[in-house]
Structure 1
Amino acid sequence: MAEFRGVQFDDPRLEEVLSGDATPLILHEGTIHGEGTVWQPTEQRLVWSDVPNRRLLGWYPDGHVEVLIDGTWFMNGNAVEHDGTLVHCEHGRRCISRGGDYDNSPEPIVTHYEGKRINSPNDVAVAPDGSIWFTDPIFGIVMPNQGALAEPEIDHRSVYRFDPKSGELTRMADFEQPNGLAFSADGGTLYVSDTSLSLGEVPGFKAGKKHEIITFDVGKEGALSNRRFFCHTDHGYPDGFAVDPRGWVWTTAADGVHIWSPDHCKLGFIPLPVVASNCCFGGVDGRRLFIAATQYLLAIDLIV
């Protein structure tokens, strides 16, 4: 990218993983608000959402891009189940859905909690045990270009765990406005971002104070404990993020992608000239970091 200033190294460990000459590649340009990046191994493709354009897109290693689903219900976050099936967050239908392709709409699998409509699921992750976890802030029901305007039916903004086998939906933790979430590779740690600060961008709403990532220990049947602060971003907020096999957290923000070790050490920073919303690892060898950044789908390759 012409405006790329180079990777900032704050810890020598990052220099072993990312070259000082590394430059983000532009894989695609043309989204309005790219989000929900996920690598789908069974199809060998990167899947991501263009929320306001109501499209689910797929990028392939040969460089071509397909519209996988056109006219979505404002899909945002996406995840992949162990069998390769896609799972989606939908703002418009206010649900978690599964599957879908060029000719068939995804099937809603979570729509209500204790008889009331959930808000607007934002991000989703599949735990090692196959359970589906998602965040449920109000962004998609208060922003016209992100979903359908509606009054919340529930009085909390929470993280949920859905068991596909039993159909049980469990409220796991409450936040001001939960946004991104991801598990460590072993499933023993859950990271959740709270981005209530971003409500200040919505007419008629007051900005909250949260622009941070919170960490939990994950126990039997998903039980959460030891809630604690992990990090915050100075510019913007940690919208979406990825956790690599080392346990490093790569989080997007208004100014790029920030990298943290699991022991709270700031490792470095990849500055970007546009706002980054989400990222994930994938590619043939898993060493490519894909970044959804406003109108771009970007990628930067790791050494190891």
Structure 2
Amino acid sequence: MDEVKKSQASWQVPMSELYQVLQPEFERLIFQNAQLDLLWTGGRWCEGPAWLPAGKYALWSDIPNNRTLRWDETDGSVSEFENPARNQNGHTVDRFGRLISCEHQGRCVSRIEFDGSRTILADSYEGKRLNSPNDVVVKSDNSIWFTDPTYGIDSDYEGDAANSEIGSSNVYKIAANGKLTCEISDLKQPNGLAFSIGEHELYVADTGKTHDPNCDANIYGYQIDQKQAVIPSSKRLLTRCDNGLYDGFRIDTSGNIWTSAGDGVHCVSAAGKLLGKIFVPETVANLCFIGSKKNRLFICATTSVYAIYVNASGAH
């Protein structure tokens, strides 16, 4: 496809303006000479990044513009991967290398097969249409877990305005055999999600403050039982956001959580302690680890995409 606007620049700012070190552990996770690189700008709401190592490229969504974009690591070029893109939001790659997508307009979770065809994996629960799947993660048993808030049906800006048929915003699991189950139903607007190291706990961000000012901007943890289902009574507060909302996030190989926030990227330990921050000029919505060593953060921030090297590697 035709190449779209490309930007390559670094934010040459002092370390004191790029990072906030809150715990000594964070100093070992960053590089004093690393810079925040602006890879591209020109979006309306950049979201849902995923790294496809075989092709050495990253994908992300520009939801209001209804397109999915592709950044090529080999030459820094940016092109349209899909347009129109059914207002896709979150993406991930399964253990076979296939792209999994959350579609606002399609109100489904879909997969691109090896031959390029599209398969709808889930679009309804108990006979009612899903709201607008938002973010997605694949577990080691090949089950697919996704959040289903209402952002894609709240207006025509990021999808098609409609009433919720289900009447709630939940977290679902698509088992390897295709069975769909509701795993979490006690959050206002479940959003980003990821499994802990060892997959004994599922972390989920609640961005319900966008709809209810009394909703706390938290990430919660839920234990997973031996049948690979959520234990509802195990819900615990993991961390509370002190600037904006925690939205999409990823886990590194040490179990730390690298999460989006209103002032940039926050790094939180597995125990829930805020270790430090990487400041970004725009509100961050999501991020992922990219590169052959998975040691570079690919950051989707409102209208732009940024990247920075860290002394950590993304977990699978």
TM, length-normalised to structure 1: 0.92
Corresponding residue for residue 4 of structure 2: none
Sort the Cα spacing of 1:3 and 1:52 in 2 relative to 1 into closer, same or farther, 3 A. Answer: farther
CA deviations over 1:55-114 (Å, ceiling 9, x no partner): 11111212112211110110000011101000000010100011179x966322201100
TM-superposition CA deviations, 1:33-57 (whole Å, max 9, x none): 1100111122221111111111111
**Equivalent of 2:216 in 210, 213, 216:** 210
The amino acid that maps onto 2:269 is: S
In 1: Cα distance, 2:213 partner to 2:23 partner: 33
Q: Displacement of 1:26 after TM fit?
A: 0.9
Identity %: 38
> Any stretches of 5+ residues in structure 2 without a counterpart?
1-10
1:149-204 deviations in Å (ceiling 9; x for gaps): 001111221100002x42100100111110111112322221100111112xxxxx
Equivalence for 2:5: none
Deviates more, 1:47-56 or 1:208-217: 208-217
1:12-161 pair list within 5 angstroms = 12-62=24-74, 63-99=76-112, 106-161=118-173
- Give the whole-Å Cα distance in 2 for the aligned partners of 1:183 and 1:282: 18
1:18 Cα offset (Å): 0.3
In structure 1, C-alpha distance between the alignment counterparts of 2:117 and 2:37, rounded to whole Å: 32
Letter in 2 for 1:142: D
Alpha-carbon distance in structure 1 between the residues aligned to 2:134 and 2:147: 6
Q: 1:167 aligns with which of 162, 178, 189?
A: 178
Q: Read off the aligned partner of 1:79 and give its amino acid letter.
A: T
Given residue 109 of structure 2, which amino acid in structure 1 is its aligned partner?
I
Aligned counterparts of 1:270 and 1:236: Cα–Cα separation in 2: 14
Q: Which residue type is aligned with residue 174 of structure 2? A: F
Residue 273 of structure 1 aligns with an amino acid whose one-letter code is: P
Native 8 Å contact 1:7 1:20 kept in 2: no
Residue 212 of structure 1: how far off its partner (Å): 0.7
Does 1:302 pair with 2:315?
A: no
Deviation at 1:2, TM superposition (A): 5.9
One of 245, 255, 269 as aligned partner of 1:261? 269
> Counterparts of 1:215 and 1:76 in 2: how far apart (Å)?
23
- Structure 1 residue 236, shift from structure 2 partner: 1.2
Matched, 1:248 2:251: no
Contact 1:198 1:208 in 2 (8 A): no
Task: Check the 8 A contact 2:98/2:113 in 1, yes or no.
Answer: no
Deviates more, 1:182-191 or 1:165-174: 182-191
CA contact (8 A) 1:157 1:178 kept: yes
1:6 touches 1:22 (CA, 8 Å); kept in 2? Answer: no
Q: Is the 8 A contact 1:49 1:56 kept in 2?
A: yes
Q: Give the conservation status (yes or no) of the 8 Å contact 1:197–1:207.
A: yes
CA distance in 2, matches of 1:279, 1:188: 23
Residue 211 (structure 1) shift: 1.0
CA distance in 1, matches of 2:144, 2:276: 31
**CA 1:53 to 1:173, structure 2 compared with 1: closer, same or farther past 3 Å?**
same
1:272-304 per-position Cα deviation (integer Å, ceiling 9, x unaligned): 121100011121111111110011111110134
Report the AA paired with residue 242 of structure 1. Answer: R
TM-score (normalised: structure 2):
0.89
| Counterpart check, 1:223 vs 2:235 | no
Question: How far, CA to CA, are the matches of 2:113 and 2:64 in structure 1?
Answer: 19
- In structure 2, the residue matched to 1:275 is 283
Does the aligned pair in 2 maintain the 1:128–1:186 contact within 8 Å? Answer: no
2: CA distance, partners of 1:3 / 1:91: 37
The residue number in structure 2 matching 1:11 is: 23
Mean CA deviation greater in 4-13 or 293-302: 4-13
Q: Which amino acid aligns with 1:258?
A: H
Q: Which runs of 5+ in 1 are unaligned?
A: 200-205
